[in-house]
Amino acid sequence: MKEARRFMYIGAHPDDPDCDFGGTAIKLARAGHAVKFVSATNGNCGHHRMSSKALAARRRREARAAAKIAGICEYQVLDHSDCGIENTLEARAEFTRIIRGFAPDVVITHRTCDYHPDHRITAQIVLDCSFIVRVPLYCPDAPVPAETPVFAFCYDGFTKPAPFRADAVSEIDSVLDDKLRMLDCHASQFYEWLPFNSFGIDRLDAKSMSWREKKELILKLLPINKTCAGLFRRQLARVYGAGKKIEHAEAFEASEYGRTVEPAQFQALFEP
């Protein structure tokens, strides 16, 4: 395995990469690996009070701030409309050029059975690129990378047509505070839209909240890392030892598309 690896997370919204891969991304970036986040949409629908235009601009700023905290190379926010991305030939070419431009060893996305149409469509576009990314006469202006990337999915709780399979696990207790600081950058979501959407809280006075209160709220809004640690205890014990108590984890499933690797190598890809 190459010593310095390149990771690209392509998600639908400007906070999906942080939520699903943020802790692992921080660990990998700190160890010297290159990590790039891509949001396919500009997130211009995720709010109950702001205008779409102002929200899109704010979410770009939030993504930039989160990238700084995570120490990743870049957080690219594309301009597809939130709740409106379509799997077009243009979008496929756009994604192909982005993947080729970064030449990642690993590309991570949602599963195509995820709940949000933008997640499903973004994932489908990524998978549609998994073969043609190495076809040289397709988008010949963008040079094909030397190797096809490994494609992987982030954890979700959906069970049809198949439940998520944890082919790689990553403890994130060691970087939990940093992951929460990254999510804290997405204030339009974690202190405004998500409390409204999940709990009907119209206005939250985030300025008067302590960091401890903010952390509790973020973890309440995003319980998946605790869920992963509980569901995939056995896999975590195999990687980190049975004696280590792990409370927060991220998990990844290998895609059958793109380059495939042995199970042990797939797990090793996500270890710093």
Alpha-carbon separation of residue 119 from 84, 109, 123, 197 (angstroms): 11, 8, 6, 18
Q: What character string, x for contact with Zn ion (CB under 5 A) and - otherwise, covers 209-248?
A: ----------------------------------------
Q: What character string, x for contact with Zn ion (CB under 5 A) and - otherwise, covers 46-85?
A: ----------------------------------------
Question: Near Zn ion by CB under 5 A, which window of 14-22, 127-135, 158-166, 231-239?
Answer: 14-22
Pick the closer one to Zn ion by CB: 108 or 236. 108
Pick the closer one to Zn ion by CB: 116 or 233. 116
Q: In whole angstroms, what is the distance from residue 270 CA to residue 7 CA? A: 9
Instruction: Taking each helix axis as running N to C, give the angle between helix 16-30 and helix 176-184, from 0 to 180 degrees, rounded to the nearest 10.
Output: 130
Interface pick for Zn ion out of 13, 36, 111, 186 (rule CB under 5 A): 13
Question: Near Zn ion by CB under 5 A, which window of 9-17, 145-153, 169-177, 179-187?
Answer: 9-17
User: Which residue's entry shows tokens 């149409």?
Assistant: 117
- Nearest approach, Cβ of residue 199 and Zn ion (Å): 18
- Nearest approach, Cβ of residue 46 and Zn ion (Å): 8
User: Does residue 110 belong to the site contacting Zn ion (CB under 5 A)?
Assistant: no
Interface pick for Zn ion out of 16, 82, 156, 178 (rule CB under 5 A): 16
Residue 115 CB burial class (10 angstroms; 0-12, 13-18, ≥19): exposed
User: Does residue 12 belong to the site contacting Zn ion (CB under 5 A)?
Assistant: yes
- Nearest approach, Cβ of residue 40 and Zn ion (Å): 9
Residue 83 CB burial class (10 angstroms; 0-12, 13-18, ≥19): middle
Q: How many CA atoms lie within 13 A of 63 on its CB side?
A: 27
Question: Near Zn ion by CB under 5 A, which window of 12-20, 85-93, 138-146, 154-162?
Answer: 12-20
Residue pair 17/9 in contact by the 8 Å Cβ criterion: yes
Pick the closer one to Zn ion by CB: 9 or 270. 9
- Nearest approach, Cβ of residue 237 and Zn ion (Å): 30
User: Does residue 178 belong to the site contacting Zn ion (CB under 5 A)?
Assistant: no
Question: Near Zn ion by CB under 5 A, which window of 13-21, 29-37, 59-67, 263-271?
Answer: 13-21
Binding site for Zn ion (CB under 5 A): 12-13, 16
